Structure 1
Amino acid sequence: MQDGIAFSERNFFKNLLSEEEIRELAGYASVSEIFSWHSPAVKKLGADPASMGDDGLIELMLKEPRLIRRPLFRVGAKLIIGASPDSLANL
Protein backbone atom coordinates (compact mmCIF):
# COMPACT_ATOMS: atom_id res chain seq x y z
CA MET A 1 0.00 0.00 0.00
CA GLN A 2 1.32 3.42 -0.92
CA ASP A 3 -0.41 6.72 -0.16
CA GLY A 4 -3.49 4.76 0.92
CA ILE A 5 -3.74 2.89 -2.39
CA ALA A 6 -3.39 -0.88 -2.48
CA PHE A 7 -1.57 -2.20 -5.53
CA SER A 8 0.51 -5.11 -6.75
CA GLU A 9 3.75 -4.59 -8.61
CA ARG A 10 5.25 -6.98 -11.13
CA ASN A 11 8.63 -6.89 -12.81
CA PHE A 12 7.85 -8.63 -16.07
CA PHE A 13 11.51 -8.95 -16.95
CA LYS A 14 11.90 -11.34 -14.02
CA ASN A 15 8.34 -12.71 -14.03
CA LEU A 16 7.47 -12.86 -17.74
CA LEU A 17 3.95 -12.29 -18.99
CA SER A 18 2.29 -15.24 -20.66
CA GLU A 19 0.53 -15.03 -24.00
CA GLU A 20 -2.77 -15.23 -22.13
CA GLU A 21 -1.81 -12.29 -19.90
CA ILE A 22 -0.76 -10.15 -22.87
CA ARG A 23 -4.05 -10.94 -24.60
CA GLU A 24 -5.91 -10.05 -21.39
CA LEU A 25 -4.14 -6.66 -21.28
CA ALA A 26 -5.03 -6.19 -24.94
CA GLY A 27 -8.66 -6.57 -23.89
CA TYR A 28 -8.32 -3.24 -22.06
CA ALA A 29 -6.40 -1.55 -24.90
CA SER A 30 -5.27 -2.71 -28.32
CA VAL A 31 -2.18 -4.85 -28.86
CA SER A 32 -0.68 -1.98 -30.83
CA GLU A 33 -1.16 0.36 -27.84
CA ILE A 34 0.81 -1.90 -25.49
CA PHE A 35 3.55 -2.58 -28.07
CA SER A 36 6.63 -0.37 -27.66
CA TRP A 37 7.09 0.73 -31.27
CA HIS A 38 10.15 2.88 -30.59
CA SER A 39 12.07 0.37 -28.50
CA PRO A 40 15.65 -0.27 -29.68
CA ALA A 41 14.77 -3.97 -29.29
CA VAL A 42 12.65 -3.75 -32.47
CA LYS A 43 15.72 -2.95 -34.56
CA LYS A 44 17.81 -5.49 -32.64
CA LEU A 45 15.36 -8.27 -33.55
CA GLY A 46 15.40 -7.24 -37.20
CA ALA A 47 11.61 -7.39 -37.25
CA ASP A 48 9.14 -5.25 -39.17
CA PRO A 49 6.29 -4.92 -36.66
CA ALA A 50 4.39 -2.50 -38.91
CA SER A 51 3.71 -5.40 -41.27
CA MET A 52 2.49 -7.71 -38.47
CA GLY A 53 -0.93 -8.31 -37.05
CA ASP A 54 -1.76 -8.73 -33.38
CA ASP A 55 -0.51 -12.32 -33.24
CA GLY A 56 2.89 -11.32 -34.64
CA LEU A 57 3.22 -8.41 -32.21
CA ILE A 58 2.32 -10.66 -29.28
CA GLU A 59 4.89 -13.21 -30.43
CA LEU A 60 7.56 -10.48 -30.45
CA MET A 61 6.53 -9.30 -26.96
CA LEU A 62 6.80 -12.87 -25.68
CA LYS A 63 10.33 -13.16 -27.11
CA GLU A 64 11.41 -9.71 -25.93
CA PRO A 65 9.57 -8.17 -22.95
CA ARG A 66 11.19 -4.79 -23.64
CA LEU A 67 8.65 -4.51 -26.45
CA ILE A 68 5.86 -4.15 -23.87
CA ARG A 69 5.26 -0.49 -23.03
CA ARG A 70 5.89 0.40 -19.43
CA PRO A 71 4.62 1.12 -16.95
CA LEU A 72 1.19 -0.46 -17.20
CA PHE A 73 -1.43 0.33 -14.57
CA ARG A 74 -4.67 -1.58 -14.50
CA VAL A 75 -7.30 0.17 -12.44
CA GLY A 76 -10.57 -1.71 -12.51
CA ALA A 77 -11.57 -2.04 -16.15
CA LYS A 78 -9.12 0.64 -17.30
CA LEU A 79 -5.53 0.19 -18.50
CA ILE A 80 -3.19 3.17 -18.19
CA ILE A 81 -0.18 2.84 -20.49
CA GLY A 82 3.04 4.78 -20.01
CA ALA A 83 4.17 7.38 -17.53
CA SER A 84 3.31 10.58 -19.36
CA PRO A 85 1.61 13.24 -17.24
CA ASP A 86 -1.56 12.82 -19.33
CA SER A 87 -1.76 9.06 -18.80
CA LEU A 88 -0.97 9.34 -15.09
CA ALA A 89 -3.68 11.97 -14.67
CA ASN A 90 -6.15 9.22 -15.65
CA LEU A 91 -5.28 7.27 -12.52
Structure 2
Amino acid sequence: MSHTHANKKPLLSRVRRIKGQAEALEKALQDDGDCGAVLQQIAAIRGAVNGLMAEVLEGHLREHVGSHDISAEQRDAEVDAVARLLRSYLK
Protein backbone atom coordinates (compact mmCIF):
# COMPACT_ATOMS: atom_id res chain seq x y z
CA MET A 1 0.00 0.00 0.00
CA SER A 2 1.29 3.44 -0.89
CA HIS A 3 2.20 5.81 1.93
CA THR A 4 -0.01 8.48 0.33
CA HIS A 5 -2.94 6.07 0.42
CA ALA A 6 -2.35 5.29 4.08
CA ASN A 7 -2.16 9.02 4.95
CA LYS A 8 -4.81 10.16 2.48
CA LYS A 9 -7.08 11.96 4.93
CA PRO A 10 -4.46 14.29 6.49
CA LEU A 11 -2.85 14.93 3.09
CA LEU A 12 -6.20 15.87 1.56
CA SER A 13 -6.89 18.13 4.55
CA ARG A 14 -3.61 19.94 3.87
CA VAL A 15 -4.47 20.31 0.19
CA ARG A 16 -7.89 21.71 1.05
CA ARG A 17 -6.30 24.27 3.38
CA ILE A 18 -3.90 25.29 0.61
CA LYS A 19 -6.85 25.59 -1.76
CA GLY A 20 -8.61 27.85 0.75
CA GLN A 21 -5.49 29.97 1.12
CA ALA A 22 -5.18 30.29 -2.67
CA GLU A 23 -8.83 31.32 -2.91
CA ALA A 24 -8.26 33.95 -0.20
CA LEU A 25 -5.26 35.23 -2.14
CA GLU A 26 -7.31 35.42 -5.33
CA LYS A 27 -10.03 37.37 -3.50
CA ALA A 28 -7.49 39.75 -1.96
CA LEU A 29 -6.04 40.46 -5.41
CA GLN A 30 -9.47 40.92 -6.97
CA ASP A 31 -10.47 43.30 -4.19
CA ASP A 32 -7.19 45.27 -4.45
CA GLY A 33 -6.18 44.08 -0.99
CA ASP A 34 -3.35 45.56 1.01
CA CYS A 35 0.07 44.57 -0.39
CA GLY A 36 1.25 43.42 3.04
CA ALA A 37 -1.73 41.11 3.44
CA VAL A 38 -1.22 39.73 -0.08
CA LEU A 39 2.46 39.05 0.60
CA GLN A 40 1.60 37.41 3.91
CA GLN A 41 -0.93 35.14 2.16
CA ILE A 42 1.64 34.19 -0.49
CA ALA A 43 4.14 33.33 2.26
CA ALA A 44 1.50 31.24 4.04
CA ILE A 45 0.72 29.32 0.86
CA ARG A 46 4.39 28.71 0.20
CA GLY A 47 4.88 27.42 3.74
CA ALA A 48 1.86 25.14 3.44
CA VAL A 49 3.06 23.70 0.12
CA ASN A 50 6.54 23.20 1.55
CA GLY A 51 5.06 21.36 4.52
CA LEU A 52 3.01 19.13 2.24
CA MET A 53 6.06 18.43 0.09
CA ALA A 54 8.14 17.55 3.15
CA GLU A 55 5.51 15.17 4.48
CA VAL A 56 5.03 13.31 1.19
CA LEU A 57 8.77 13.27 0.50
CA GLU A 58 9.55 11.85 3.94
CA GLY A 59 6.97 9.10 3.43
CA HIS A 60 8.39 8.32 0.01
CA LEU A 61 11.94 8.12 1.33
CA ARG A 62 10.96 5.90 4.25
CA GLU A 63 8.62 3.58 2.33
CA HIS A 64 10.34 3.34 -1.04
CA VAL A 65 13.94 4.51 -1.01
CA GLY A 66 14.67 3.15 2.47
CA SER A 67 12.86 -0.11 1.88
CA HIS A 68 14.84 -3.27 2.52
CA ASP A 69 12.83 -5.00 -0.22
CA ILE A 70 14.51 -3.27 -3.17
CA SER A 71 17.79 -3.94 -4.92
CA ALA A 72 20.74 -1.57 -4.91
CA GLU A 73 19.96 -0.70 -8.54
CA GLN A 74 16.35 0.15 -7.68
CA ARG A 75 17.52 2.24 -4.73
CA ASP A 76 19.96 4.14 -6.96
CA ALA A 77 17.16 4.80 -9.47
CA GLU A 78 14.86 6.03 -6.68
CA VAL A 79 17.58 8.33 -5.31
CA ASP A 80 18.17 9.75 -8.81
CA ALA A 81 14.44 10.34 -9.25
CA VAL A 82 14.15 12.12 -5.89
CA ALA A 83 17.23 14.24 -6.66
CA ARG A 84 15.71 15.31 -10.01
CA LEU A 85 12.43 16.12 -8.31
CA LEU A 86 14.15 18.20 -5.61
CA ARG A 87 16.17 20.13 -8.17
CA SER A 88 12.96 20.93 -10.04
CA TYR A 89 11.09 21.85 -6.84
CA LEU A 90 13.85 24.14 -5.58
CA LYS A 91 14.13 26.18 -8.81
**What's the TM-score once normalised by structure 1's chain length?**
0.24
Q: Which has the larger radius of gyration?
A: 2
Structure with the higher helix share, 1 or 2: 2
**What's the TM-score once normalised by structure 2's chain length?**
0.24
Structure with the higher strand share, 1 or 2: 1
